Every structure is written in C-alpha cells, then in structure tokens.
Structure 1
Amino acid sequence: MSEEQNNTKQLQQEAVAGIRWNESGLLPAVVQDARTLEVLMFAYMNQESLQRSLASGQTWFWSRSRSELWHKGGTSGNTQAISSIHYDCDSDTLLVKVVPEGPACHTGENSCFYREIPLEAPAAAVLSPAGEDGRFAVLAELERVIAEREVNRPEGAYTTYLFDKGVDKILKKVGEEASETIIAAKNKDNAELRLEVSDLIYHLLVLLQERKLPLDEILEELSARHERPRRD
C-alpha cells in the first residue's frame, strides 16, 4: 500500500471515529447525484455499511425493516459509484455524492423524490451554483436532462439515438461538430459559430455522460489549472 493510500485510510478512520451514531447505531445518509446535484434517495448506514461503502466504492446501507445490510443495485444493477462522502457540523448526518448506474428509486424514477407538494408562491431558484449570477445554470440543466435520457431512453429523442448507437457514434459527432466549429470560425461567421459551438458542447456533455465523467470534475480541473503558479 502506498503512502498516499495509507494517509487516506488514516483520515477515513479519524473521520469515522468522530461520527455520532444514534441510539440504534445508525446514521441518516442523503444520496445526491454528483453530476446534477439532484437528491436521489435517503437511507441509513451503520458502521459496517459505511466501512463496506468506503472499501468497495459503492453505496451500502442498513435496512431497518429487514434488519440487514443491503448493497444498492446488488439485485437490480442500479449501483451507485461513490464520488465523495461529507458529514455535517454535528457529525450525525452523511451526504453521499454518487455517479448512479440507473435510477435510484425502486419505482424506476430517477430520484425517490419525484412527487411534489404544490406551493402557492414558490421562491425563484437558480438551477446551478456554477456561477454567482447563474450564467452556467443551463449547463447543469442540460447535463441533468442528458443523464435522464440515458436512463429512460424516450423513443424518438436524439439523445436516446446517440446512447443506443454507442460511444463510437458519439465520438464521430463530437469530431464533426468540432470541424464545423473550426470552419465557422475561419469564415468569421459568428452566427454560425454560435450554433456550432452549442452543438459541440451538447455532444461533449453526451460523451461525458457516456463515460460517467461528471462536468464538475472538468470544472475542478480548470479551477486547479487556474490556481497553479504561472511559468511565464
């Protein structure tokens, strides 16, 4: 085991040691899509299920009704790869960010929270925290829609067609749109360039979804590059 792995294990153990389990030895866990930030489900973990989650990289929970451990997706195939685990200021609740492989809800819905209580005057909401002014909210919304299209595959949808055809077709479209973007820029046609760049971004988001690479990780990489010392 490398020094970095040893350090990670030690930090894990320190964090787990500080968790405040309830009188039943359980901890509430809110599960959130790491890509879209949609809340997917709510469940409980005990110490063993948390340790299994950390060891396997997939979510494990404790079923209070069956009094047994359960591996999310172990039967259905709708597993959840863990992106990060956070605990709150009181150390008594977990926030588990995941990259889901299929819907979270046993009903087939993407999220267990698919039913809504209507409000007379709901507050306005920004779709994404990607920018203080919400400039990039559309990217988060588009990423969410693409993720839903991959799961539900609605008939006749272009995104469904791309996922059905597979990664080679998606890559071909990314290449085509990149070429058309270059041509529009060379022609100094900003109207055409706007359209082609939009097509390119859409197909790149489809590619990221196919590869299960969250857009947040791209933004983190860009942020990290921005923070590195300049060489010039």
Structure 2
Amino acid sequence: MKIDFDKNADGLAPAIVQDAQTKKVLMLGYMNQEALKKTQESQKVTFYSRSKQRLWTKGEESGNFLHLVDVKVDCDADTLLLSVNPQGPTCHTGSDTCWNEENEESFGFLTHLEAVIKERREDPDRKNSYVASLFKKGINKVAQKVGEEAVEVVIEAKDNNDELFLNESADLLFHYLMLLQAKGYTLKDVMEILRQRHK
C-alpha cells in the first residue's frame, strides 16, 4: 500500500472512515504519514488535526475509539479508505455519523421492502393491501404461505424454467420477510446469527 502524501501542498490525505460491518460512512478526517503509521501500529485511528496542528487519536478524550480493521488506497493513491469497528458514536455531537445518520446495516432493496411490509402491517385496514390482509389472518396463515412458497421453489428447482424458479424464489423471500416480522424479528437478526456461525 503506497499513498502519495505529496500530492497536496499540506502533505495531508483525506481519510474516509467506514464501518466494517454496516458499510456506513462515519466521518472524514485527514492523515499525514505519521498519522497513518500510528494508526497501523496502535490499531486505533489517528488523524492529523488541522485545527490543533498535531496528531489526534479519535476517542482520546471521549473514549469513542475507531478500531482499525483495514486500510485501502484509491486508484490515484491520494485518498484512504479506513474500515473500522467504532466504539460508541463517531461524531463529537453524539451522533453515530458526522452526517447525523444512524449507523444501521442496510440490505439495500430488502431493507426498503421490510419497511414497506412494516408500514402495511401497521395499517391493517389498508384497502387492496395483500400484506395487511395476510397479517390480519394471523401468524399461522403467514407461516403456511412460507411453507407453500418453499415447496413451489423446490418443485421449480427440478424443472428447467428459470423464470418460474426465480419468481417462486422471490415469493418465498417476500413471505419469509413477512414471517420474520410476524415473529418480531427482521433480516438483521438472522444476519447476526449467520455472522456468529461464520466465526
């Protein structure tokens, strides 16, 4: 890993900090060669503070350290990407990120779909909502639908119609997300178990 600290007149390189697990961008700081070296040696992220004109380890006063997992350099060799495990909130305001966002893991469209399911579940009288109507019938019906869709996925897996297989797989995943919510859980809870097993 080689970074060109001389590209900028002040000898500092931008350092983007990203949560290793959630992939959320937490903050932006600046590093010189000495700050990078100290970060790698201590495994705690250290920046060069432009206001204090000295090295500054994030968390040295608050205890909210950023524990280093990995460092990458961009294609121009002038910007760092630090993958970290944060210990507490990152921003000095007490927020999880310096953009006042919650540092929560997102599964892209599946997270959006979970939010839609939750919204429709909480509005049981919503007209023309398949989700609301199925939740109204109770957890046994939701669980039954998951079982039905699982069987259909198995059947289609044995055939050669990829379109049907993928459509049944989508139905299974959708109904599984509903079942998780019916039990009071989300995809995040399942992912945590998979992570623990992976260790």
Which interval holds the TM-score relative to the shorter structure?
Answer: 0.5 to 0.7
Runs of at least 5 residues in structure 1 that lack an aligned partner in the other structure:
1-14, 116-126, 142-183, 209-214, 223-232
Shift of 1:199: 3.4
TM-score (normalizing by structure 2): 0.56
How much does 1:113 deviate? 1.4
Counterpart residue number, 1:60 = 46
Report what 1:38 is aligned to.
Answer: 24
How far did residue 32 of structure 1 move? 1.2
User: In the TM superposition, what is the alpha-carbon distance from 1:136 to its structure 2 partner?
Assistant: 4.2
- Percent sequence identity is 39
Question: 2:4 corresponds to which residue?
Answer: 20
Q: Gaps spanning 5+ residues in structure 2: where?
A: 116-138, 147-175
TM-score, length-scaled by structure 1:
0.48
**Paired amino acid for 2:4:** R
**Separation (CA, whole Å) in 1 of partners of 2:68 and 2:36:** 11
Summarize the alignment of residues 1-232 of structure 1 with structure 2, pairs less than 5 Å apart: 15=1, 18-21=2-5, 22-114=8-100, 128=106, 134=108, 136-137=110-111, 190=144, 194-195=179-180, 199=185, 203=189, 218=195
Counterpart in the other structure of 2:161: none
Q: Is the 8 A contact 1:32 1:41 kept in 2?
A: yes
Give the count of matched residue pairs: 137
Q: Give the partner amino acid of 1:19.
A: I
Deviation at 1:190, TM superposition (A): 3.8
Q: Deviations for 1:56-95, whole angstroms, at most 9, x for unmatched residues?
A: 1110000111110011101101001112111110000011
CA, structure 1 residues 23+140, in 2 after alignment: closer, same or farther (shift >3 Å)? farther
